[in-house]
Structure 1
Amino acid sequence: MTALSPERPRVSPWVLSAFWFGTAFHWLLLLLILMPANVVTFVGDERKGTYLGLLAGIGAIMALVLPPLVGAHSDRTGKRLPYLKLGLGVNLAGLGVMALAVTLVPGLPGFWVYLLGFLLVQFGNNYATAPYSALIPELVRPEARGRYSGVMAMLQALGQLLAAVSAFAVGALHLPVLASFVLIAAMLFVPALVTLRGVPEPDTVVARDPHAPTLSWQQLFAHQPFLWVFVTRVLFALGQYSVQPFLQYYNKDVLRQSDPGTSTSIMLACIIVGSIASALVGGRISDRIGRKPVIYVAGSVMAGAALLLLVAPSFGAALALALAFGLGYGAFSSVDWALGSDAMPSQSSFARDMGIWHVAFVGPQMTSAPQGALLDWGNAQGGNLGYTLVFGIAALFFVLGVVLVRNVPERAHARAAA
């Protein structure tokens, strides 16, 4: 691969990653807090799981299909920021439709209006983030990508933490549901504006090689660094989604907490705080010693924490393990984007290839349903066997990710195919 021009602009990592802060706030508050509660108001408790699953399934399909397509179009036009602007506008419009449905349209008809709004949200957000994902490999020199990736991971964790605190405050103040939608829109718009005003359009400042190849999907996955980065990201995501959806049930059934919702919120806060603490440090360390050593440690810590949760003697011990898991997850996240950026094989298709790489994180979300069935089956056998199976599988995925990341060449960009 022909190297990118060294004359790249000096873009602040905080400005470059500001939009990730907004999207992290947006998705945590919308997916984990608002949507489950809103669905109940439309269809009642008896059908809430079915209709919430419908929303989640449709959203996951769109998140799988759209980013590679939009990314490929962005590569052809040579533009990134116009996609962010248009996607942001559609995202905000979708939030408006969802808020309208909740406040004005009751019952099942309201749900279908709500679904339309959610489709607009998914379309807009994925339309914006696919080309936006190309900015780190396009604008950041390889030796600085760990630091930039660490800042991005830290901002995402901060966005999630602020969203959790905001949800608690909205509930404590008994504010109307419309206030939450307005808050989400504001917290998405302002960071997006920071990025849009502070980041130059890449094609005006980065020399592009007109002869750089655009690889087919088959050629892309034949490129070993990309293939192994993709596979290991799938494994780490599978580990995460083997545990995360069932934490509230774990708090109730295993830890015997009387208020599992509050207990789960505290546990999630511990994970987020741990990830904030390690995200920036992990990225900087990876720039000095390489990406893979950080992943070895991070994945091992996550696997150990998942297993030890099964034998945690108390809620306090479980919180300590959650903090340890967060330290591992933050370190992994700080290196994740840097490793992915290093593995991009062609300068001419950054956005498409990053969109395909993003599928490795989104696709495993579809496994929550079979994992849930396994949990129920195992618990029906007695002795919380379901949690042993599901958490054990999570640890296995993390360990496999650690083992297989050895196949990724360090600084894969230097070995990329021409």
Structure 2
Amino acid sequence: MATVHSEPSPSFGDSRSGPAAPEENAPRILIAAYIAAYFTMYIALITPVVSTLALRVSDLSTEAGRAGDLALVTGVGAFFAFIANPLAGALSDRTTSRLGMRRPWLLWGVLSGSVGLMIIAVAPSVPVVVIGWAITQTAFNGAQAALQALLPDQVGEAQRAQVSGWLGIAQNVAPLAGIGIALSLTNAGVPAMWMFLIPTTIALAGVLFLVAVLKDRTATREEVGRFDLGSFLKGFWISPRQFPDFGWAFAGRFLLLFGFAFWNAYQVYFLQDRFGFDDGEALSWQLRLMVAQAAVLVVAASVGGYLSDRTGRRKVFVILSSVLAAAGLLALAATQNPSYLYVGAVLAGAGMGMYFAVDLALVTDVLPNKETEAAKNMGVFNIANALPQSLAPAVAPAVLAIGAGGNNYGLLFGVGAVVVAVGAVSTMFIKGAR
């Protein structure tokens, strides 16, 4: 068990040193703050991905060019996320600030990410949106690496799947709140900048709450050792031969999020093109589908996390959830009646809820060197979150153009379903977890 020191660090809470071996039962206030920070940060980060960024690009582009422009914005932003997550994680593991190892990155990330969202809100052109989204993705993904490192840092193994489940709920319900905000503002006819300003303010409040109550780890210069650039860069390579379980877990997450990245990026345009909805109607249907998905997601995540902790099993829940998620994408791809979209939303909610409840705990179980390199290795793992956002928009326009004049969403989401199903297969090869 880690020793908790009583010396306060400047301005915020307490700090603790020693290895990343958390107490068996993390304090309730910390868990509540952790979940709140996760929820609020994802309101600011995911809402643009699934809704407001597409609307902003549509305002600044043409109907013929908006899909390509959205692919450019999301692709560039995802590239910066791809770089920032492992880099910030590695630097967090080496941070010797008196504020702790994770706090400085949480603060830097949420403040800088807020600046990026404000640039998007007032952008006069698509290139400026590209710049704003690159800043946002860099900053929030840097903070996310530190945020996810708190799971092995602060939460004992007996609690891990349940806390992971609540984090999964927070991540997946966050867009519901964001879309609700966007719909309310659209219907009220207020300027588009408020779609970005309000989620930004919410994220700031949530992360600052966590920073205030966190008993962060501290490290000394002697503990982190001398900085060597070559060794630092080599540390980002985690050999799948040496750590095969981590490699398979990475592949499973990458494939699931790659498959769903098609839906996340293009659902607004799908609703508009297939069913003829305007902006308000598309947001309204997004909100309805999110409500249905979130209701099922909460139940699936709670039950999945509880059963995983009770049985000690991870893989079976991850595999089952991936299959359900793939079925949800197939249902969305096939429907020609908007009422049937609820079927896809429910299946996707069940799959994603169970998946995120257990997968993060599974990854933590097989994480290499979690005592000394938790944030860096979680950052490397988060490449599986960021890279799909870059690759999917690059692939999507070519798939959409096959046989349907740029609107072949059935094929696009069908391809996504196949990719997700392959991700389920990769999880079967993990041997270091049940």
Q: 1:389 to 1:70 in 2, by over 3 A?
A: same
Aligned to 1:371: 396
Matching of residue 30 in structure 1 with residue 48 in structure 2 = yes
Distance 1:379 1:139 in 2: 51
Which of 167, 176, 196 pairs up with 1:152? 167
For residues 338-368 of structure 1, what are the alpha-carbon distances to aligned partners after superposition, in whole Å with 9 as ceiling and x for unaligned?
1111111102111111111011122122123
Matching of residue 338 in structure 1 with residue 353 in structure 2 = no
Q: Structure 1 unaligned segments of length 5 or more: list them.
A: 413-418
Please say if residues 19 and 372 of structure 2, whose CA atoms lie closer than 8 Å, have aligned partners that are also in contact.
no
3-state SS of paired residue (1:95): helix
Query: What's the offset of the Cα at 1:288?
Result: 1.6
Aligned to 2:379: 355
Matching of residue 228 in structure 1 with residue 223 in structure 2 = no
Distance 2:134 2:420 in 1: 32
| Alignment map for 1:320-331 (pairs within 5 Å) | 320-331=343-354
Matching of residue 10 in structure 1 with residue 26 in structure 2 = yes
Partner letter of residue 10 of structure 1?
A
Which of 190, 197, 209 pairs up with 1:175? 190
Distance 2:292 2:397 in 1: 24
Please say if residues 149 and 338 of structure 1, whose CA atoms lie closer than 8 Å, have aligned partners that are also in contact.
yes
Distance 1:335 1:295 in 2: 6
Task: Give % identity.
Answer: 24
| Alignment map for 1:121-160 (pairs within 5 Å) | 121-160=136-175
3-state SS of paired residue (2:218): helix
Aligned to 2:328: 305
Give the CA RMSD over aligned residues: 3.1
Q: 1:98 to 1:301 in 2, by over 3 A?
A: closer
Partner letter of residue 26 of structure 2?
R
Partner letter of residue 337 of structure 1?
L
3-state SS of paired residue (1:371): helix
Please say if residues 164 and 305 of structure 2, whose CA atoms lie closer than 8 Å, have aligned partners that are also in contact.
yes
Query: What's the offset of the Cα at 1:84?
Result: 0.8
Q: Structure 2 unaligned segments of length 5 or more: list them.
A: 1-17, 226-230
Larger helix percent:
1
Distance 1:114 1:304 in 2: 34
Partner letter of residue 297 of structure 1?
L
Query: What's the offset of the Cα at 1:144?
Result: 1.4
Query: What's the offset of the Cα at 1:57?
Result: 1.9
Query: What's the offset of the Cα at 1:217?
Result: 4.3
Matching of residue 86 in structure 1 with residue 108 in structure 2 = yes
Q: 1:408 to 1:203 in 2, by over 3 A?
A: farther
Partner letter of residue 80 of structure 1?
R
Range that drifts further, 18-27 or 298-307: 298-307
Query: What's the offset of the Cα at 1:280?
Result: 2.3
TM-score normalised over the length of structure 2: 0.80
3-state SS of paired residue (1:348): coil
Query: What's the offset of the Cα at 1:281?
Result: 2.2
Aligned to 1:68: 86
Partner letter of residue 414 of structure 2?
G
TM-score normalised over the length of structure 1: 0.83
